[in-house]
Amino acid sequence: MTIEEFEALKQELKNERREKNRLLREIKERDSLLATYETSIKFFENLSNSFKKRSTEQDTYMRLMLEHSPDIIVLMDTEQKYITGTKRTLKEIGVDTDKLNESNFFDIIAEIVPEDFLTHLLNDFQTVVKNETELGYEKSIVLANGIEYIFTLILFPVRDETSVIIGVMLYVHDITELKRAVDEAEAANKAKTNFLATMSHEIRTPMNAIIGTTQIQMQKDNLPDEYMEALKNIYNSGNSLLGIINDILDMSKIETGKLELNLAEYDIPSLINDAVQINIIRIGSKSIKFALDIDSNLPLKLYGDELRLKQILNNLLSNAIKYTESGEIKLSVNHTVEDGDILLYFVVEDTGQGMTLENRARLFSEYTRFNAEANRNTEGTGLGLSISKKLIEMMDGTIWAESEYGKGSVFMVMIKQKSVDNDIIGTELAEQLCNFKFRGKSQDINLKFVREPMPYGKILVVDDIETNLYVAKGLLAPYGLNIETVDSGFAAIEKIQSGKVYDVIFMDHMMPKMDGIETTIKLRESGYKEIIIALTANVVVGQSQIFLENGFDGIISKPIDVNQLNNILNKYIRDKQSPEVIEAARKQSENVKAEPETKPGADSELLSIFNRDAKKSLQLINSIFQTIESVSDENLRLFIVNVHAMKSALANIGKKEVSNLADILEQAGKKQDITTIANETPLFIEMLQMIITEIDEQLDESSNSVVDSDPEFLCSTLKRITEACDEYDDQAAEEALAELKEMVWSKDTKDLLNKIKEHILHSEFEEASAKALEYIDSPLTLLESIEGFDAEAALKNMADLPELYMDTVKLSIRLIPETIAKMDCFIAKNYIEAFTIEVHGLKSVLKNIGATIAGSNAELLETAGLEDNGSYCVEYYPAFRESLIKLISRLKEAFPVEAVTKTKALISTLAEPVLKAKTAAGNFDCNNALDIIRQCAMFTYDVETDELLNKIIFALEAFEYEEALKAISVLEENINGI
Amino acid sequence: MIKSYVINIKEMDDIEFALEELNEQMAEISLLKNSIGIVSLNWDYISSGIYEAVANALPFQLAGGTLLSVATKDEIGIFVFSVMIFTSDECEFSCAVSDAIPNEGNVDQITQNCYKKALAGLADKAKLAFLFAPLNPNHYAEKYVAAMSVIDESTPIFGTLTIAEVDNQFGGGKTLLGNECFDDKLVVVVISGDIEPQFYIGSVSDESIIMPNVGVITESNDNFVTKINNMPIENFFERIGYDPGVLNKGAQTTGFIMHEKNEEGEVVSSKVSGILSLKDGVGAFMGNIPEGTVMSVMTTTKEDIMKTAQATINELKKNHSEGTVLLYSCAGRMFCLMNEPMKEHEFLRDELSGDYSFMVAGSGGEICPTYVSNDKAYNRGHGHSLVICVI
């Protein structure tokens, strides 16, 4: 082999090797790529496993969901063929779910849904498919099972990955219960809102009377201390109750978003001072030091809702005082400026109970109070902080608190207010505040605060309810103003049209025919420009704006706040006068202590006023009711206005039940519910009539005495009248009548006297005399004249049935002597038990006929007998017997003596009376002797004794004393002989 | 201004042949005053000694690393040795290699020292930095770039994590500087001069999420996650049907998107993050995974990869009609191409073969700024992305 060949071979080998390497490399590369591919496959297998696992899980979840979901979810293809869906509820409503698969869904449900609904649903299905749109709505349907359901239905198209519609999903959700709950909740909410709105009016109206009347009474100077104390308690309690009511109403307004802030300029020092002064009093006897730290650079005036700010401050301070027993309470007030607004900071620190962390978390929740056991005597609804927080948030502010249990709390409030000007309170004023020496526009709690005398002021009060006029006049009277009142808008307009001008008109809102707003509009249209202030018990948000928009210059809510009233009078009357006029008025009356228009018997006046109003309303209500089936709108409105007026008037006099009935009628009227009006009005009319009658009687009785003040004097004077009439002496008769007029008599007696007077006026003397004798001789009159006899009471015990009473008295005239005879016997034989039985029976008889003293004596004897005290009975029976004899003879005077069978009595019972008669006759005391013997003669003894008694009577009647004494002696011998 | 050339050495075994190829190609190139070569090659070129011979034969520094695949105008495949030569009269080039990166602990100091060393070799401010770092489960790219950004927050950093396939196992590759190769060192190249590098990033589309919000990271420390949904991480993956063993293969077709949320629960960032290793109850991810991060599973289809590549190239071409283009595409994208692993490389080669000098390489982790302004470069690490630097 040559070198060249060797080199060539070597090169060839090299090339072959290179080629081999290249091929190996190529194989390796493919191997590597294959490895890459295999790795990819492993990862994708992993992914696939993961997908499968998740898919299985998803399937399981889906199956569970489909089986158990309470909603109806159905997937159909575009031909309405059922693909899949939930079955539970379908089964419950009666669908045969076994038939669903591969069937037309609508065919299956046709058995249980109404045809019109099915058609509607099918149309919707077609719409969804055709328009590729989603549909949703609520539907109420009655299924084949007879049950009504309310469903929410949604149909939406189902698409594949290329967005082609391949089916429709139907989703049905049962909202029947939800709807019901919503309706109930709405009704409850509406009822609550109505209730609260009604409460606002219903409670404030009588509160107005309570607080207003108390205020009026407290203005008197001559009240005893205990009365003043009692009135203060009523006033404070009334205000507390009003505060609680206001809290609840505020909460309701806040919850429904109806509370509005009333923005106006206000005075910061007054705000702070008022809040502090009111609350300092609450400290009472607690050992608490109250400190104030006021920034002297505070703006003097700000723009905001002063009332609500005071409410917030009041709440914080009152809480601090409530929950601090001793230590210190400090109020700090300062401010900063941000973007032209004032950020007002109030900080209230106390050394009181403090709060735990847990309690702090619940601090601003409603109705939250802590440490219930320890604070059970602490007043409060638990709404204060919640309301304060919401008010603060409405003012774009914040409130927060820090506290340590057992050590105390710090409450911090930041509120944004608008500035008014650059004036600041200054150091001096700040010091005055801190030293509680500030005297601003506010008044202290003493209701007898000094009112500016304004004799130059003219006021008109317009209100259809006399009670309200009464209260308003009472509160205005101390100012010495010229006060006029009218009871309707028409009357008010007439007053103005007649040329009258008033400094202020206080105008009620709700009045019949023309309400306060309409009246004011008319007044303004006529050119009347003076001040008109609305008086309203309807403290509903939005109303204030309505009043201001319709010509009113301001609003006072009822119950009337005296401070608010004072501010208005000062602003619109006093402040418009020159200083000289004001000073002159003051000098004329240093302190206005006008005699309140109330007088003792205000209750009577209120009732009287009520009855006047009620009679008018009753007439109107009755007449409208007669045509209620075809009542016109105007009449219905009148009906409503009148029952509304009666509602508050009845509440004012405490007739709550009837007031509630009036409210029902008012609400029925507003809803034009004629059925309810027709059903309830008769009862209302009847009850109202009863109340009117009752009050009339009460008023009559209060001015009339129940019983005659002096029956004996009446009797004797009537006798004089009869004598005068017999003599045709009208002057004497009239003089006698005049004497009687000054005294207090029952209604019947008054009627009698009036009739007698009338007869005398007409010179009908015989008739006048006969009338007088009717009374004189009337059994009742005679019975009334018996000492210890209360015929009137006895008559009342017998249901005021005179005949029954008279018969009872007549019967007792017979019974009493019979009982005496028995008692005589038992006493003589010392049969005390039998005696007690008889005296017991006699006691009832005596009390029944009005013989009260005799009845009481019988009771004493009965008691003694029951105690086996025979000696008492023996000792006191004779006196009791004598009083009974006298009683019988007086009873017989009242009634014509009838032939009465005498009762047999023992001759021994004559011993004592005959001795007395003998003594009387021996002293020529004929009348006395006669009385005694006549009493003895009421019984029968034996023939001889009876004859002797008659003989004695005849002799005494003839004043033959000697004959009488002879007969008495014979009788004595007979008595002593037994 | 920089001129660039790309040479390829096909010979893997015979050094003499390799050098012949090199000389033939170098004879066509006129080098300017300063030059440097950015290397992308297969691991076998090192083990065969070819790389060292070529590095010794060249008159300039080589810097780069082992990568999974390469595509240039003339060559494409796994077994490719390509060098992109930058040469310039005005621009300067400086290189540095770091100390060994420890498996645990802070790498800031080592990184910063290396960067400073490289920067010190420049007379002027650096306009561009290249970073080649080993793929290490314990340290992710953003650690390095964050440390480097402290030194100089305005210089954009571009680069890759090296990767190699050895016996069908994918793992960390070697970094290269000069004729040396390193398992655990950073190699930094900085360039100063009149250049305005531009950057483009193509990542995953919204449709890549296949299992949204599968889990919440409930226990983690940096990039090490131990619990997901309060379950040990391995249990979690088993729970969702994943074989944890597969996750240890290194580069994956499926990755995870991590949705980082703020205190209000709002998503503030969504990043692709692969899992580099999962063993002994610890999953090492390619980035910091704070607790509370929500994890979604993602993968991409062949269509998605081509779509994002197309969109990125379109963007590039809109702004540049010519230039030097260096591209790194995540190995994960290659896996997602399934039976056509080189499809994206082929596409990019076809798109850029006209007026561009380019080199594409399959990366173990991409480094590229998301935004560069005059004052600041937002240097970030990426995953499952195609990152491009145009000079």
Q: What is the pLDDT of residues A731-781, one digit of tens each?
A: 888 888 888 876 767 777 888 888 888 888 778 888 888 888 877 777 677
- Measured between CA atoms, the residue of chain A closest to residue B236 is A50
Nearest to residue A165, comparing CAs of A102, A75, A104? A75
The CB-side HSE value for A341 (13 A sphere, CA atoms) comes to: 14
| B184 and B101 co-located in one domain | yes
User: What is the distance between the alpha carbons of residues A137 and A135, in angstroms, rounded to a whole number?
Assistant: 7
The CB-side HSE value for B203 (13 A sphere, CA atoms) comes to: 19
pLDDT higher than 50, residue B260: yes
Amino acid at A227: Y
- What residues of A are in contact with residue B247 (Cβ under 8 Å)? 46
pLDDT digits (tens, 9 = 90+) for A921-962: 888 788 888 888 988 888 888 888 998 998 898 888 767 788
User: What is the distance between the alpha carbons of residues A577 and A454, in angstroms, rounded to a whole number?
Assistant: 10
- Measured between CA atoms, the residue of chain A closest to residue B249 is A39
Domain final position from B276, B299, B322: B299
The pLDDT, as a whole number, for residue A592 is 39
pLDDT digits (tens, 9 = 90+) for A681-707: 988 988 898 888 888 877 665 555 445
First to last CA, chain B: 9
Average pLDDT over residues B325-347: 91
Q: 0.90 cut: is pTM over it? A: no
| B118 and B161 co-located in one domain | yes
Domain final position from B243, B268, B299: B299
| B217 and B163 co-located in one domain | no
Alpha-helical regions (H) of A69-160: 88-92, 105-109, 115-131
Amino acid at A901: T
User: What is the distance between the alpha carbons of residues A962 and A296, in angstroms, rounded to a whole number?
Assistant: 115
Q: Does A51 touch chain B (CB under 8 A)?
A: yes
| B103 and B20 co-located in one domain | yes
- Cα–Cα distances (Å) from B32 to A921, A929, B21, B91, B119, in that order, read 181, 177, 21, 10, 21
> Choosing among A14, A33, A46, which should be mutated to test the B contact, i.e. which has the most B CBs within 10 A?
A46
pLDDT digits (tens, 9 = 90+) for A125-155: 999 999 889 999 999 999 988 889 999 999 9
User: What is the distance between the alpha carbons of residues A436 and A304, in angstroms, rounded to a whole number?
Assistant: 24
Of A14, A33, A50, the CB nearest to B78: A33
The 10 Å Cβ neighbour count of residue A860 is 15
**Shortest alpha-carbon distance between residue A29 and chain B (Å):** 6
| B141 and B80 co-located in one domain | yes
Scanning the structure block, which residue is given the tokens 């015990």? A797
Reading the block at residue A523, the tokens are: 């007044």
The pLDDT, as a whole number, for residue A863 is 86
Scanning the structure block, which residue is given the tokens 């009374």? A775
Scanning the structure block, which residue is given the tokens 């009627």? A751
> 120-179 in B: which are within 8 Å (CB) of A?
165, 168, 170
The pLDDT, as a whole number, for residue A537 is 62
Q: How many domains in chain B?
A: 2
- What residues of A are in contact with residue B254 (Cβ under 8 Å)? 43-44, 46-47
Phi, psi at A326, each rounded to 5°: -155, 165
3-state secondary structure of A332: strand
Nearest to residue A859, comparing CAs of A869, A848, A844, A871? A844
User: What is the distance between the alpha carbons of residues B368 and B312, in angstroms, rounded to a whole number?
Assistant: 14
Of A38, A46, A52, the CB nearest to B243: A46
The pLDDT, as a whole number, for residue A702 is 53
3-state secondary structure of A588: helix
Domain that holds residue B210: 206-299
The pLDDT, as a whole number, for residue A798 is 65
Nearest to residue A971, comparing CAs of A942, A949, A955, A950? A949
The pLDDT, as a whole number, for residue A245 is 75
Tell me the mean pLDDT per 10 residues along chain A, length 978: 89 84 81 77 78 83 86 93 91 88 90 92 94 91 89 93 92 92 82 67 72 78 80 81 75 72 86 84 81 92 88 90 91 92 94 84 64 54 80 91 91 92 87 72 44 89 80 83 91 92 90 86 94 75 74 82 83 87 77 39 65 84 82 82 84 80 88 87 88 78 55 83 87 86 74 85 84 77 74 70 72 81 86 86 82 87 87 90 88 64 79 90 84 86 89 80 88 85
Domain final position from B299, B328, B360: B299
| B240 and B104 co-located in one domain | no
Angle at A466 between CA A462 and CA A472, to 5 degrees: 60
| B40 and B132 co-located in one domain | yes
Nearest to residue A807, comparing CAs of A891, A874, A916? A891
Of B79, B242, B336, the CB nearest to A50: B242
Within 8 A by CB and 6+ apart from B263, the residues are none
Phi, psi at A389, each rounded to 5°: -60, -45
Reading the block at residue A878, the tokens are: 């004779």
Angle at A526 between CA A520 and CA A530, to 5 degrees: 60
The 10 Å Cβ neighbour count of residue B307 is 15
> 291-310 in B: which are within 8 Å (CB) of A?
297, 299
Q: In this predicted structure, which of A480-484, A909-913, B219-223, B336-340 has the lowest mean pLDDT?
A: B336-340
| B210 and B313 co-located in one domain | no
User: What is the distance between the alpha carbons of residues A413 and A502, in angstroms, rounded to a whole number?
Assistant: 44
Task: Please report the ipTM that was assigned to this predicted complex.
Answer: 0.76
pLDDT digits (tens, 9 = 90+) for B150-193: 999 999 999 999 988 776 666 778 999 999 999 999 999 999 99
DSSP code of residue A447: S
| B217 and B81 co-located in one domain | no
Judge: B243–A43 Cβ closer than 8 Å, yes or no. no
Judge: B297–A52 Cβ closer than 8 Å, yes or no. no
Q: Give the DSSP letter string of A768-811.
A: HHHHHHHHHT-HHHHHHTSTTB-HHHHHHHTTT-HHHHHHHHHH
Please return the burial class of B28, using the count of CB atoms within 10 Å of its CB with bins 0-12, 13-18 and 19+: exposed
DSSP code of residue A596: P
What does chain B come to in residues? 391
- What residues of B are in contact with residue A25 (Cβ under 8 Å)? 12, 79
User: What is the distance between the alpha carbons of residues B198 and B325, in angstroms, rounded to a whole number?
Assistant: 10
pLDDT digits (tens, 9 = 90+) for A171-222: 999 999 998 898 888 878 767 766 766 666 667 767 777 887 887 787 776 7
| B86 and B112 co-located in one domain | yes
DSSP code of residue A289: E
pLDDT higher than 90, residue B40: yes
| B243 and B112 co-located in one domain | no
For a pLDDT cut of 90, what percent of chain B falls above it? 63
The 10 Å Cβ neighbour count of residue A242 is 18
3-state secondary structure A906-924: CHHHHHHHHHHHHHHHHCC
Q: For residue B90, what pLDDT band results from cuts at 50, 70 and 90?
A: very high
H or E element, residue A603: helix A602-626
- What residues of A are in contact with residue B335 (Cβ under 8 Å)? 36, 39-40, 43
| B38 and B64 co-located in one domain | yes
User: What is the distance between the alpha carbons of residues B259 and B266, in angstroms, rounded to a whole number?
Assistant: 9
Of B17, B78, B247, the CB nearest to A29: B78
Cα Rg, chain B, nearest whole Å = 20
Q: Does B209 touch chain A (CB under 8 A)?
A: no
Judge: B241–A25 Cβ closer than 8 Å, yes or no. no
The pLDDT, as a whole number, for residue A376 is 52
